[in-house]
């Protein structure tokens, strides 16, 4: 039995035990439905070869050769990745447009005895939903902005808010980047723009639109990932909560938070080189000397004083609103973070109540 699935609504996708992306590994790497596994009907080289035959020689020959390759690949998947799947297992399959690759795999898996679904329109149905939600929709998103200077532990506060059942959207985690020239993680490459948007879409649609979403203040670029139009517009208009901490505390926090980066001195030096257009040669050379001496707390203090704090002040002055609240952290330890998160939770709940009252008035 093969079921045609018309859209990517969460309730429809949740009916299946697995989502199979039958496209090539290259297509999958660029973007895919989060959580989908890649069982390609054709790998990248096979897809390119069959495409060349189709365009330059013969459509029939391309289909004949492609069918043989697809059959072998599906057989291998059944014997390996799918070998332990029980009779009751229900997969949903998609390819680029919901055409031949997903249809071929669905036909074979259905003959095995599994109840198979095929996503109508394939990956393009998913991508269309992402674009409509993140770029084209004019519907507001109820955002509360977590603002404050570099090193004020905003990411840790956001993590604690999530544990306290406050709706959050961790853009840096989704973008695998900490939002500065030092921001990448050594063991987590950044996703491409389409994959970032897929992850963002998946997270947003799990949230309750009637409750506020706490988002850390960012520029519209997080590394190479760009915040999509609808969310960026909501963030620019959002009321904000400002967190503050003394410079010495923030410098120590930054040195600890970037521990993975500072283990790679060449990566630190490369990041400092990216600051060269914004500072004179003497200052950059001083920072390089600090990095080579592994004096990272002092380096963090100077970077905040001379680069990141001025950037924050310029951004703050462009906003005409006053923060809903200012929260000062005195220690940046777990207790301090928890107290700040609980206060922000109270603010978010009051904000949601005021919004509901205004909507019903």
Structure tokens at 266: 């060449």
Distance CA 109, CA 256 (A): 50
Return the DSSP state at 185.
Answer: B
Contacts of 151 (CB under 8 A, 6+ apart): 245, 249, 250, 251, 253, 254, 257, 300, 304, 308
Tell me which residue of 134, 324, 147, 306 sits closest to 231, measured CA to CA. Answer: 134
333-345 exposure pattern, b = at least 16 Cβ within 10 A, e = fewer = eeebbeebbeebb
How wide is the angle at C-alpha 7 spanned by C-alphas 16 and 100, nearest 5°? 80
Q: Dihedral angle at the C-alpha atoms of 110, 85, 47, 189, nearest 10 degrees? A: 140
Whole-Å CA distances, 143 to 55, 57, 107, 241: 49, 55, 45, 11
231-257 exposure pattern, b = at least 16 Cβ within 10 A, e = fewer = beebbeebbbbbbebeeebbbbbbbeb
- Known catalytic residues are 95
DSSP, residue by residue, 57-76: T-HHHHHHHHHHHHHHHHHH
Whether the CB-CB separation of 133 and 203 falls below 8 Å is answered with no
Distance CA 203, CA 301 (A): 35
The position carrying tokens 């079921």 is 3
């Amino acid at each position: 039995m093969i079921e045609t699935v018309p859209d990517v609504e969460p309730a429809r996708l949740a009916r299946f035990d697995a989502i199979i992306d039958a496209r090539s590994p290259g297509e999958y790497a660029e973007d895919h439905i989060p959580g989908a596994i890649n069982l390609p009907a054709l790998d990248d080289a096979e897809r390119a070869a069959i495409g060349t035959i189709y365009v330059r020689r013969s459509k029939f020959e391309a289909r004949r050769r492609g069918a043989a390759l697809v059959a072998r690949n599906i057989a291998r998947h059944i014997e390996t990745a799918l070998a332990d799947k029980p009779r009751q297992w229900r997969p949903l399959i998609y390819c680029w447009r919901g055409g031949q690759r997903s249809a071929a795999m669905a036909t074979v898996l259905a003959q095995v005895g599994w109840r198979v679904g095929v996503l109508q329109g394939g990956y393009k149905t998913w991508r269309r939903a992402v674009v409509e939600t993140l770029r084209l929709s004019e519907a507001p998103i109820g955002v509360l902005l977590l603002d404050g200077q570099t090193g004020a532990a905003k990411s840790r506060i956001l993590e604690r808010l999530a544990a306290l059942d406050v709706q959050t959207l961790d853009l840096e985690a989704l973008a695998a980047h900490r939002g500065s020239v030092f921001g990448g993680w050594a063991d987590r490459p950044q996703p491409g723009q389409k994959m970032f948007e897929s992850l963002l879409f998946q997270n947003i649609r799990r949230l309750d639109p009637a409750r506020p979403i706490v988002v850390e203040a960012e520029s519209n670029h997080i590394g190479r990932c760009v915040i999509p139009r609808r969310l960026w517009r909501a963030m620019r208009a959002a009321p904000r909560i400002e967190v503050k901490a003394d410079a010495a505390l923030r410098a120590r926090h930054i040195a600890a938070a970037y521990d993975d980066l500072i283990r790679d001195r060449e990566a630190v030096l490369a990041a400092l080189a990216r600051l060269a257009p914004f500072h004179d040669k003497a200052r950059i050379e001083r920072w390089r000397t600090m990095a080579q001496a592994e004096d990272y707390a002092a380096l963090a203090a100077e970077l905040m004083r001379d680069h990141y704090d001025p950037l924050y002040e310029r951004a703050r002055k462009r906003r005409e609103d006053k923060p809903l609240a200012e929260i000062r952290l005195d220690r940046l330890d777990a207790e301090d973070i928890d107290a700040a998160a609980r206060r922000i939770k109270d603010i978010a709940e009051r904000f949601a109540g005021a919004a509901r009252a205004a909507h019903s008035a």
